[in-house]
Each structure stands twice: as structure tokens, then as C-alpha cells.
Amino acid sequence: MGRQKKSNEGWPKSLFKRGESWILDFRFRGQRYVETLGPMSRTKAQEKRDKKRGDIAAGELAVNGMLWRNKRWEQADEHPCVEDILFEEACEKYLDWYKGHSRSRSYDRHVTSAIALKAAFSGKRLSQISAFAIDYRPST
């Protein structure tokens, strides 16, 4: 007698395991969605799959650059709206975030660096600052 084939009956058809990682592969309204979920339990992978399907159906997650809205596929926004704030505000937000995510000496070094940056870019919005706006040579 020959070998019996392994049955995949208990496995969800849209989830596959390659090595230690789970691969999510399903179709929604004719569009294929594929994502590597990484190493996790089968239950957690199923939960993530269900969340992704729900997000796609709600029009919150793009598939191949398309969003499902009003019962049809629409082109997703190429550039999501980003708040264009003043450099000083962005710097303060960054320093507030960095304070909670780093050592105190690192934070102090960033605060010191921010003084010169604020002086150089005061009154400018983030969209107005580019690599060309930064002068690496000291002025003579």
C-alpha cells in the first residue's frame, strides 16, 4: 500500500505556514491580497486574517492600490494627508515622544541639538525643509 496524503482539513484555506511564518493569501471581490504575518500561533493568524478582511471590506486597507468603497473598487489616495506643521511644533512633539523612549542622556543630547535646529528652521513648515536647505559648510 502507498502512503496516504496528509489531509489539510483543519487548516483555513487562506492561511499557509512556511517554516515558522504564516502566509495570508486570499481574494476579495476579485483582488488578491498576500501578506507574510510572521511567526505566531494559528489562532492569532486567523484573528489577523479576519481583521484584514474586515478592514478591506470597510475600505480602510488598500489592496493593490485600490480601496473597496461604495460597492466598487476605487483608486487609493497616492499621498495620504499629512499635517504640515511648523518645525518648532514638530521638534517639540518629537522631543516629547523621545523622552519616554530613551535614556535621559540621549534625550539631553537631542534637546541640545534641537536648539541650533530651531534657530536655523524657525518659522518654516516641514514641507519647506529639504536636504538643499541645510548648509554643511560653516559661513565665513
Q: What is the DSSP letter of 13?
A: T
Query: What is d(CA 57, CA 43) in angstroms, rounded to the nearest whole number?
Result: 21
* pLDDT grade for 84, boundaries at 50, 70 and 90: confident
pLDDT for the residue numbered 127: 85
Residue bearing the bigger pLDDT, 140 or 24: 24
- Where along the chain do its domains lie? 15-75, 87-133
Chain segment 35-81, per-residue pLDDT in tens? 899 899 999 999 999 999 899 888 888 888 888 888 888 887 766 56
Cβ-proximal residues to 14 (8 Å cutoff; 6+ apart), any chain? 24, 25, 26, 49
pLDDT for the residue numbered 134: 72
pTM of the model: 0.47
What average pLDDT score do residues 82-100 get? 90
Query: What is d(CA 58, CA 29) in angstroms, rounded to the nearest whole number?
Result: 13
Q: At 91, which helix (H) or strand (E)?
A: helix 87-100
